[in-house]
Chains A and B, each alone.
Chain A
Amino acid sequence: AQSVSQHNHHVILSEAASLELGCNYSYGGTVNLFWYVQYPGQHLQLLLKYFSGDPLVKGIKGFEAEFIKSKFSFNLRKPSVQWSDTAEYFCAVSPVPGGGNKLTFGTGTQLKVEL
């Protein structure tokens, strides 16, 4: 079974600071990778996803993530955060093929951006 680790549980940054959130997964085969965001009181929204091809993927709101297969990592980055980026960020994986699109989530990272 797959598992996902997010090592940063709480991150506090000032506006305009750069962001990198770590995500590592454990699975013996090929996976699809996702980052979801949950703004306070809201539902989860997809930030970006990686299925194949260029390991550097760009998502919404200026976020990007890089898949490094040798490190089983899919870290999320943003060069300059804004106060509105305050949210909970979840990394998730699903196995390929099969698995019924079963998403396994990491424990999440709470990001707080201060003015």
Chain B
Amino acid sequence: DTAVSQTPKYLVTQMGNDKSIKCEQNLGHDTMYWYKQDSKKFLKIMFSYNNKELIINETVPNRFSPKSPDKAHLNLHINSLELGDSAVYFCASSLETRLAGNNEQFFGPGTRLTVL
């Protein structure tokens, strides 16, 4: 009965490779997010989708491309991986929040990406 799930949990890869992280939520939410947590535990939003529409796109290299095939899934594809991409990536979801901004975000378990 996992609410927000991510795969894989760990991802170790070489510089220059392309990789994807998948996220699924079964909470019936229509907004999903990707966050990056760096080595100092600082969390920063990367993207947000509402009903498959991109609504938040922070200053993120265009090597990062989110894809939302439906409102229950938000995948993150990363091209040409760099050392600095090493981090923990968290997916989250919430109810539709464009106006109020007050809905709790539910986080997935995270994907630890290590680029060698």
Contacts from A to B (Cβ < 8 Å)? 32, 34, 36, 38, 42-46, 49, 51, 88, 90, 94-105, 107-108, 110
Q: Is the CB of B90 within 8 A of A44?
A: yes
Q: Are A42 and B43 also in contact (CB < 8 A) when A99-B101, A102-B48 are?
A: no
Interface residues on B, range: 20 to 34
Q: Is the CB of A95 within 8 A of B107?
A: no
Residue of B nearest to A46 (CB): B104
Q: Is the CB of A103 within 8 A of B107?
A: no
Question: Which positions 98-116 of chain B face chain A at CB distance < 8 Å?
Answer: 98-105, 107-110
Q: Is the CB of B41 within 8 A of A94?
A: no
A-B contacts, 21 listed (Cβ < 8 Å): A42-B109, A44-B43, A44-B107, A46-B104, A46-B105, A49-B104, A51-B100, A88-B41, A95-B101, A96-B102, A97-B100, A98-B99, A99-B101, A100-B56, A100-B97, A101-B48, A101-B94, A101-B97, A102-B48, A103-B33, A108-B42
